């Protein structure tokens, strides 16, 4: 939905909350859920969506007949697509994903081809005069990056994608940005690592020269295009789990001239103090589907665990910490859960900054873990929960009141 009179700032939720890996399954879920969400939120206005497409679904939707039918559906329902989630390439629901969610990563041409296809789909769906964004894997899973040659491969493929976006912009006038989503235990996980990667690699002379060779742009044009088409997807759960500070996040990205092409509004779990009881409280969240990276703080020193079990083992072995933060997306309207809390306060701080000066034009609530959330936290219809989340954001942006 549009949040400003000019129609430049959009708020939605990501459809990766709904299971579906094939286009028929995705199409069926959109038909079931989107009209209901729209009717509850903006019955008389257009409603934008954050569409998630697997590689299989994207290939099917790219076919002319499927694309034409979907565009007709959007028009009939007064819906529009302005952002795509291009992070999970393959299965994302009902089967163990864990670290495979990052594969193929940006060293692999399959990731490049998939993302190029997403851009081709998005430019066909984007309303005139509206910019688009695609969120993606932050390079790769950190343990797979062994040398600068791996990083160079990531950079080169991202620049190749930027050239594809330049071509789209020159042909159609529509601007699409690729937004890298920092995440714990990935190649890019912190804001400092994000700034370093952009400044050292994506905004480098080598990247500029590569883009010049792939396009008709001169040096100044290539520099501008890299900044225009390559940016960040700021996931607020991920940043909070990394113990980032809201003001510092925005200041560092602004100083580095890194565009926040999308902001994903999400909350994680927060435990302080940490005791043996913490493990009991967390066990219902230890599902077999997703990674739940855990960052622990002890006297200001951070320790990162790839998944909950590693954090459990470290605690049992005697590791001490004052606070744990866990990458498990929970509904953003939740805060005090009795014996533990969420990182909702970080969202409040970021949205307070956004009220004064927009951080991003694309705001997307992303609570994809709905189907593995312990039952006591999902005892309502999923659309009711989504509507409550989006209304909570609207209330924060309107007044900053305690919603």
Q: CA dist 322 to 146, 268, 296, 395, Å?
A: 32, 17, 8, 32
Residue 23 confidence (pLDDT) above 60: yes
Q: Exposure of 283 by Cβ count < 10 A (0-12 exposed, 13-18 middle, 19+ buried)? A: exposed
Helix, strand or coil, per DSSP, at residue 244: coil
Cα pseudo-dihedral 324, 397, 375, 312, rounded to 10: -10
Q: What's the pLDDT at 403?
A: 39
Give residue 7's pLDDT: 84
Task: Give 156-207 pLDDT, tens digit per residue.
Answer: 999 999 999 999 999 999 999 999 999 999 999 999 999 999 999 999 999 9
Domain boundaries along the sequence of the chain: 10-267+343-398
Residue 242 has pLDDT above 80, yes or no: yes
Structure-block tokens of residue 106: 């940006």
Sign of CA dihedral 215, 226, 81, 5: negative
Q: What is the band of 402 on the pLDDT scale with cuts at 50, 70, 90?
A: very low
pTM of the model: 0.97
For 182-223, give the DSSP string: --TTBSS-SHHHHHHHIIIIITSHHHHHHHHHHSS--HHHHH
End-to-end CA distance of the chain: 20
Please report, rounded to a whole number, the percentage of residues in the chain having pLDDT higher than 70: 99
Tens-place pLDDT, residues 91-139: 999 889 999 999 999 999 999 999 999 999 999 999 999 999 999 999 9
Q: What is the pLDDT of residues 253-290, one digit of tens each?
A: 999 999 999 999 999 999 999 999 999 999 999 999 99
pLDDT at 55 over 60: yes
Interatomic CA distance for residues 313 and 320, integer angstroms: 12
How many Å apart are CA 321 and CA 301, to the nearest integer?
9
Mean pLDDT score across all residues of the chain: 96
Distance CA 267, CA 341 (A): 10
Q: What is the DSSP letter of 104?
A: S
pLDDT band at 5 (very low <50, low <70, confident <90, very high): confident
CB neighbours (10 Å) of residue 221? 16
| Beta-ladder partners of 176 | 132
pLDDT in tens, 290-324: 999 999 999 999 999 999 999 999 999 999 999 99
Q: What is the pLDDT of residue 235?
A: 98
Strand 323-330 vs strand 267-271: parallel, antiparallel, or unpaired?
antiparallel
Chain-centroid distance, C-alpha 19: 17
For 322-328, what is the mean pLDDT? 98
What is the pLDDT at residue 4? 87
Classify domain 10-267+343-398 at the CATH topology level: TIM Barrel (3.20.20)
């Amino acid at each position: 939905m549009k949040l400003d009179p000019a129609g430049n700032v959009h708020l939605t939720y990501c459809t990766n909350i709904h299971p579906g890996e094939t286009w028929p399954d995705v199409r069926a879920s959109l038909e079931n859920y989107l009209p209901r969400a729209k009717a509850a939120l903006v019955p008389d206005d257009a409603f934008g969506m954050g569409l998630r497409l697997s590689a299989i679904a994207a290939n099917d939707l790219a076919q002319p007949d499927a694309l034409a039918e979907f565009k007709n559906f959007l028009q009939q329902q007064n819906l529009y697509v302005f952002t795509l989630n291009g992070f999970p390439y393959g299965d994302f629901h009902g089967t163990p994903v864990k670290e495979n969610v990052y594969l193929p990563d940006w060293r692999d041409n399959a990731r490049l081809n998939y993302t190029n296809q997403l851009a081709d789909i998005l430019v066909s769906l984007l309303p005139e005069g509206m910019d688009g964004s695609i969120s993606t894997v932050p390079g790769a899973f950190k343990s797979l990056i062994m040398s600068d040659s791996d990083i160079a491969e990531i950079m080169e493929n991202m620049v190749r994608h930027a050239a594809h976006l330049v071509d789209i912009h020159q042909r159609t006038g529509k601007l699409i940005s690729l937004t890298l989503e920092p995440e714990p235990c990935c190649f890019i996980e912190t804001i400092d690592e994000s700034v370093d990667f952009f400044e050292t690699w994506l905004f480098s002379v080598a990247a500029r020269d590569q883009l010049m060779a792939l396009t008709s742009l001169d040096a100044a044009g290539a520099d501008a295009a890299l900044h225009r088409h390559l940016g960040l997807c700021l996931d607020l759960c991920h940043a909070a789990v990394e113990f980032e500070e809201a003001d510092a996040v925005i200041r560092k990205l602004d100083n580095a001239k890194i565009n926040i092409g999308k902001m994903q509004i999400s909350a994680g779990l927060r435990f302080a103090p940490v005791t043996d009881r913490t493990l009991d409280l967390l066990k219902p969240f230890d599902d077999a589907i997703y990674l739940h990276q855990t960052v622990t703080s002890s006297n200001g020193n951070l320790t990162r665990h790839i998944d909950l079990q590693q954090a459990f083992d470290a605690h049992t072995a005697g590791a001490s910490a004052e606070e744990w933060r866990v990458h498990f997306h929970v509904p953003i309207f939740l805060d005090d859960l009795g014996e533990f809390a969420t990182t909702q306060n970080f969202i409040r701080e970021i949205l307070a900054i956004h009220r004064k000066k927009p951080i991003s034009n694309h705001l997307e609530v992303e609570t994809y873990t709905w189907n593995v959330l312990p039952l006591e936290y999902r005892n309502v219809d999923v659309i009711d929960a989504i509507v409550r989340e989006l209304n909570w954001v609207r209330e924060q942006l309107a007044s900053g009141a305690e919603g």
